[in-house]
Amino acid sequence: MKKIIRLFHTVKYLKLIQIWRRLIKKILPSHFISTIKFIEVEKVINRFEPTVLSKQSIFGLWTFSFLNKKYNIKNFEYHNTNKIEKLWMYNLHYFDDLNSINSDQRRDWHNILIQKWIEQNPPVFGIGWEPYPTSLRIVNWIKWSLLGADMKKDWLNSLATQAKYLSKNLEYHLLGNHLFTNAKALIYAGLYFKGALAKNWYQIGIEIFNKELNEQLLPDGGHFELSPMYHSLFLEDLLDIINIHQAFNIKLPAQIINKILLMIKWLNTMCHPDGEISFFNDSAKSIAPTLKEITAYSYRLNINYKPSKFNNLTHLPDSGYIRLINKDAVVLIDVAKIGPDYLPGHAHADTLSFELSLYGKRLLVNSGISRYGTSLIRQFERSTVAHNTVAIDNKNSSEVWSGFRVARRAYPLDLKIEELENFVNISCAHDGYKRLDGNPIHRRHWQFLKNSLIIRDHVDGFFTNAYAYFHFHPSVTITKNKNSFWKIEMPNRQQVVLDVKMGEATIKESYYSPEFGKKLSSQCLKISLDKREGGCVEILWEN
């Protein structure tokens, strides 16, 4: 019965088209397509600018490294193996290495691998033909060609066949970034090839693009899945779409430049002083381009983002994030929904979490992600206890389950922001635990001063236990000093003190995942909340 209730609270948020397309997908096989025998390529009018370079992923003719895991895959024989995680296998079929660092030095390998892929992946067999890897591969092959690689006739025929297949198998059952990636691939194929078929692909792609751009981009510049990582990927997609339009001298979609500038500003807001993204929802390094890479790419396309100095407080009201800064500290606060109701696949149970950098180094961090799938690791990394927030009665604030599912979810409420001369007060609550006996409401208050941050937690209603979690970056060491004080040693040796003013604190071992496939040992402070008084922590640093 619990599983049925959970499924009901998951499905009820979906759009009708998602449910309908899922049913069709289960009932009917993928569309059979005939292969394209000959197709011509359009002539490039303007220079196709170099795109963001991927990390090198091929280290031998059959040796591939993705997600910090290296395997030797002789030819593409493991189309559907369950011995290697699916995301790694997806990456095998992306062909990102075509447009990666020093890719020219591996041109001979690329030629062999493309030919082998075509021979060993007949339409529409294996995960390589699923719409998402097909979309990324189409774009990578076309970029590779536009940047100077020679494409054989049978490679072009295969590429066009892939576009034809994709146009009949769009991911309407998922929507979001998957559907947008499908549209981008059709735009690329539609501009790259000649003929009526290509024009049809372009028309399908650009119609989806226009609709999804308005749907997925929030007024404050954030991507609606509320993940800094997927925001960066979406932003790279927009720049790629501008690049190919300019190359074939096709008029750009309306207002796209202004939207890109707004998105870069949002990304800048959500980065730490180290230039890398914060870890809210599904976010990790080395998947999406960095802010620096995005900005450099935009300059090559004559889109000149001019960063302005941050105010002490920046509120992204549509996304639900807040940035606080002073001379030494940067605080990033999550007072957001988990994402769009019909698309919470990349959401974490992290409502009212926050991250803190001091002296340019990360101090308090959300735990990040090391893998996708349905494992216990994935479940932990999406859980409330993996974030800097409060878990009540050993439950998650939002019912994250499986790999990409959410049933009942937290909604923020009672947000108040008070900016005074010497400090900033922010308070917010959420209703994610109201489903529990006692209808508890978690309330959190941040007070940001010149050289300290005070976090107060309180729970309205009845509960059995509640704990606040504070996860420290692996470069940071925390030890008990005396009474309620804990000593924090930063990597650059500045002294920081954490004072547990209210609640009982214990230190526990945890881990931090800055990238897929990487887990670094770290420390977590777990503080029990008093049923009447709640909990209070003050972090103090030197001026």
User: Is the preceding peptide bond at 335 cis, omega within 30 degrees of 0?
Assistant: no
- Is residue 30's pLDDT more than 80? no
Place of tokens 């994030």: 321
Confidence of residue 542 (pLDDT cuts 50, 70, 90): confident
Rounded Cα distance, 15 and 204, in Å: 21
Of 67-76, 113-122, 157-166, the range with the lowest mean pLDDT is 67-76
- Is residue 424's pLDDT more than 90? yes
Token couple for 233: 């990927």
Confidence of residue 259 (pLDDT cuts 50, 70, 90): very high
Task: State the average pLDDT over residues 369-390.
Answer: 97
pLDDT of 74 reads 75
Between β-strands 405-406 and 329-334, what pairing exists: parallel, antiparallel or unpaired? unpaired
Confidence of residue 308 (pLDDT cuts 50, 70, 90): confident
Task: Name the DSSP class of 385.
Answer: G
| Relative orientation angle of helices 228-247 and 131-146, to the nearest 10 degrees | 50
Task: State the average pLDDT over residues 371-378.
Answer: 96
- Is residue 76's pLDDT more than 60? no
Count of CA atoms in the C-beta half-sphere (13 A) of 68: 14
Rounded Cα distance, 414 and 426, in Å: 10
Edge-to-edge strand ranges of the sheet holding 441-448: 412-419, 424-430, 441-448, 452-460, 535-541, 495-502, 485-489, 477-482
Q: Sign of the C-alpha dihedral, residues 174, 406, 20, 32?
A: positive
Task: State the average pLDDT over residues 135-146.
Answer: 98
pLDDT of 80 reads 65
Of 68-77, 359-368, 475-484, the range with the lowest mean pLDDT is 68-77
Task: Give the number of other Cβ atoms within 10 Å of residue 53's Cβ.
Answer: 15
| Relative orientation angle of helices 256-269 and 228-247, to the nearest 10 degrees | 150
Of 113-122, 284-293, 513-522, the range with the lowest mean pLDDT is 113-122
pLDDT digits (tens, 9 = 90+) for 181-208: 999 999 999 999 999 999 999 999 999 9
pLDDT of 201 reads 98
pLDDT digits (tens, 9 = 90+) for 481-534: 888 899 999 998 888 999 999 999 999 999 999 999 999 999 999 999 999 999
Task: State the average pLDDT over residues 207-221.
Answer: 97
pLDDT of 28 reads 74
pLDDT of 78 reads 55
- H or E stretch at 380: helix 376-382
- Is residue 77's pLDDT more than 70? no
pLDDT of 89 reads 92
Q: How many whole angstroms from its chain centre is CA 110?
A: 28
Confidence of residue 32 (pLDDT cuts 50, 70, 90): low
Kindly state the percentage of the chain with pLDDT values over 70. Answer: 98
pLDDT of 276 reads 98
Confidence of residue 126 (pLDDT cuts 50, 70, 90): confident
Query: Which residues touch 204 (CB under 8 Å, ≥6 apart)?
Result: 167, 170, 183, 186, 190
Confidence of residue 415 (pLDDT cuts 50, 70, 90): very high
Confidence of residue 1 (pLDDT cuts 50, 70, 90): confident
pLDDT digits (tens, 9 = 90+) for 440-454: 999 999 999 999 999
Query: Which residues touch 202 (CB under 8 Å, ≥6 apart)?
Result: 186, 187, 189, 190, 191
- Is residue 370's pLDDT more than 80? yes
Judge contact between 412 and 428, C-beta under 8 A: yes
Mean pLDDT for the chain? 94
Judge contact between 397 and 391, C-beta under 8 A: yes
Task: Show the domains of the chain with their CATH numbers.
Answer: 50-300 (1.50.10.100), 313-541 (2.70.98.70)
Task: State the average pLDDT over residues 276-281.
Answer: 98
pLDDT digits (tens, 9 = 90+) for 78-98: 566 777 889 999 999 999 999
Token couple for 426: 């922010």
- Is residue 543's pLDDT more than 80? no
Rounded Cα distance, 436 and 244, in Å: 52
Confidence of residue 125 (pLDDT cuts 50, 70, 90): confident
Write down the number of H helices and E strands in the chain.
12, 22
Q: How far apart are the first and last CA of the chain?
A: 56
Of 214-218, 357-361, 494-498, the range with the lowest mean pLDDT is 494-498
pLDDT of 399 reads 98
pLDDT digits (tens, 9 = 90+) for 235-256: 999 999 999 999 999 998 778 9
The per-residue DSSP string of 104-141 comes to GGGHHHHHHHHHHHHHH--TT-SGGGSHHHHHHHHHHH
